[in-house]
């Protein structure tokens, strides 16, 4: 083997090891997380203003979260698949391609979650002696978790496929029965993240958002494969 061939072989082997790939994945997740936080500066401002102006200010600040989540999922799916390239470029590309439809998909889920939150906040007014109080609170929490999971599934599908908005709603519900483990896994990821925020502080959310989205993307790969197999042209 000539010296030139040895150099070419070493270049091919460079970056092919598991540690190098793991480091690249960690760097990609950190970059995507930072971009997700930057795209939701309005939400950070809402969290800081909530103790003074009321929690209602968080609702309009959550509107841009839909497009930014889709962009982050688009970038993270490429990171998980081992695609080389800039996470920043992937994030921007995903945002530009899907921002409008992401708002259409995200807003109904956000409104439903807001209604659930209002009802949860109003439960103490029923009085401590209300028999159905704890059961109703648990039912609303489970409902909120299911709605959030369906919303995440819909946004994830949008980041990968070009479906009509109404089809994304149907597929987000279809995923509960078609891939039960994926849906339960995503619910578990969001439940753990929400519990951690409740027992600590909501200001931790900028540090949790990116890793949570990446875990959802990893967990949802069987769902994406199923949808690609059954609902896209071969």
Q: What angle do CA 213, 14, 4 make, to 5 degrees?
A: 155
Joined together, the tokens standing for residue 20 give 């190098």
Long-range contacts of 93-97 (CB under 8 A, 24+ apart): 94/70, 94/159, 95/39, 95/67, 95/68, 95/70, 95/71
Give the structural domain span for 202.
18-125+133-231
Residue 151 forms part of a structural domain: yes
pLDDT tens track for 49-76:
887 877 788 889 999 999 999 999 999 9
Residue 5 forms part of a structural domain: no
Residue 11 forms part of a structural domain: no
Q: In 98-205, at which residue ranges do the beta strands (DSSP E only) sit?
A: none
Query: Model pTM?
Result: 0.86
Residue 27 forms part of a structural domain: yes
Residue 40 forms part of a structural domain: yes
Q: In the chain, how many domains are there? A: 1
Per-residue pLDDT of the chain (234 residues; tens, 9 = 90+): 555 544 444 444 545 567 767 788 888 899 999 999 999 999 888 888 887 877 788 889 999 999 999 999 999 999 988 787 789 999 999 999 999 999 999 999 999 999 999 888 877 655 555 555 678 888 999 999 999 999 999 999 999 999 999 999 999 999 888 888 999 999 999 999 999 988 888 788 888 999 999 999 999 999 999 999 988 865
Residue 2 forms part of a structural domain: no
Residues 66, 107: contact at Cβ < 8 Å? yes
Q: What angle do CA 88, 45, 153 make, to 5 degrees?
A: 55
For the chain, report the end-to-end CA distance as a whole number of angstroms.
43
Residue 7 forms part of a structural domain: no
Joined together, the tokens standing for residue 112 give 């439903």
Residue 42 forms part of a structural domain: yes
């Amino acid at each position: 083997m000539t010296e030139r061939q040895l150099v070419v072989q070493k270049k091919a082997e460079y970056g092919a090891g598991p540690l190098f790939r793991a480091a690249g994945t960690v760097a990609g997740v950190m970059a995507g997380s930072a971009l997700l936080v930057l795209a939701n500066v309005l939400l950070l401002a809402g969290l800081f203003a909530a103790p003074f102006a009321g929690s209602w200010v968080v609702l309009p600040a959550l509107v841009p979260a839909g497009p930014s989540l889709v962009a982050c999922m688009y970038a993270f799916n490429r990171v998980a698949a081992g695609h080389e390239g800039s996470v920043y470029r992937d994030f921007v590309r995903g945002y530009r391609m899907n921002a409008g439809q992401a708002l259409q998909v995200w807003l109904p889920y956000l409104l439903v979650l807001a209604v659930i939150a209002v009802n949860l906040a109003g439960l103490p007014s029923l009085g401590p002696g209300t028999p159905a109080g704890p059961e109703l609170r648990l039912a609303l929490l489970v409902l909120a978790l299911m709605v959030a999971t369906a919303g995440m599934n819909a946004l994830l599908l949008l980041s990968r496929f070009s479906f009509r908005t109404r089809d994304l709603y149907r597929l987000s519900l279809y995923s509960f029965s078609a891939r039960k483990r994926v849906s339960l896994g995503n619910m578990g990821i969001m439940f753990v993240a929400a519990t951690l925020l409740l027992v600590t502080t909501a200001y931790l959310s900028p540090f949790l958002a990116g890793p949570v989205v990446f875990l959802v993307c990893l967990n949802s790969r069987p769902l994406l494969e199923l949808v690609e197999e059954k609902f896209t042209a071969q």
